[in-house]
Amino acid sequence: MEAIVALERDAQLMLNVREGDDTSFGFLLERHRGPVVHFLYRMVQNQAVSEELAQEVFLRVYRSRETYEPTAKFTTWLFRIATHVALNSIRDRKKEKGHESLDESSDEMLGGLERQVADRQLTIEQEMVRDVKLREVRQAIEALPAKQRAAVLMHKYEGLDYAQIAKVLSCSESAIKSLLFRAYETLRDRLAHMA
C-alpha cells in the first residue's frame, strides 16, 4: 500500500512538473537526491564524480518532463536513468585509464569521507579497524562486474525489489535473481576472512 502511495505521489509530482510546476520538481529532488547520489557514489566510489552524475540524472529527468508518462514506478524510471549514466561513466573511465581497483582521487578521499561518516566516539584503533573493513567492502563491491554491482546496490541499499531491478537492467526477474545470487556468493568469498 505504501508503495502504491509512493508511486502515485512521485508520479503525480512528475506530472505536475510536466504541467510547469517547478515546485514539484523541488519535492522530487528533495525525496530522491540522497538515494540517487548514494547509489552513484557506491557505483563509482568518488564523491565529486557521483554528484556530477547525479546532476546529469536530475537534469535528464527535468528535460524529459514534457514527454513523461507514468508507465512504471517513478523510482524504477529514475534508477534506470541513474544506472545508465553510471554504467556509461564506468565504461568511459575504463577506456580512459584502464581498469583500476580504486582511483587516486577516491583513495585520497577515503580517509576523509570515512572519518566524515565516522562515529566520533570511536577510538583510533577502532576507527582503523573500521576503515580497513570499509576499504575491503568497497573493493569487493568495486570488483564486481558493473551490472552485478548495480543490482546489488539497488537490492541492498535502495530497497528496489526484483521486478524493479529487472526493469532497470532490462532483464527478466529470474535473470536478476540469478545475477544477485552470483554477486552475493562472490562477495561472500571475498569477504569471508572478515566474518
Partner 1 sequence: MICLSKNEQGAELLAGYLSRTLDAPRMAELGRHIQECADCRGLASVWERLDEFAVPEVSPGFDARLYARIASEEARVSLLSCRRWLWRPIAPLAAAAAVVALVLGFLHVPGTPHSAKQASKVEIEQVAQAVDDLDLLTPIDR
- Positions in the binding site for partner 1 (CB under 8 A): 29, 33-34, 37-38, 41-42, 47, 51, 54-55, 58-59, 62-63, 113-114, 116-117, 130, 133-134, 137-138, 141, 152, 155-157, 159, 162, 177-178, 180-181, 184-185, 187-188, 191-192, 194-195
Place of cell 524493479: 164
Say which residues have a Cβ less than 8 Å from residue 147's Cβ, sequence separation at least 6.
Answer: 87, 169, 179
Is the CB of 9 or the CB of 156 nearer to partner 1?
A: 156
Q: C-beta of 100: minimal distance to partner 1 in Å?
A: 19
Q: C-beta of 55: minimal distance to partner 1 in Å?
A: 5
Is the CB of 71 or the CB of 82 nearer to partner 1?
A: 82
Is the CB of 32 or the CB of 167 nearer to partner 1?
A: 32
Q: C-beta of 127: minimal distance to partner 1 in Å?
A: 12
Q: Which of 55, 107, 61, 104 is nearest to 81 (CA)?
A: 61
Grid cell at residue 40: 552513484
Is the CB of 2 or the CB of 96 nearer to partner 1?
A: 2
Say how many Å lie between the first and final Cα of the chain, rounded. 37
Q: C-beta of 76: minimal distance to partner 1 in Å?
A: 18
Is the CB of 96 or the CB of 195 nearer to partner 1?
A: 195
Q: C-beta of 95: minimal distance to partner 1 in Å?
A: 25
Grid cell at residue 16: 505536475
Say which residues have a Cβ less than 8 Å from residue 91's Cβ, sequence separation at least 6.
Answer: 146
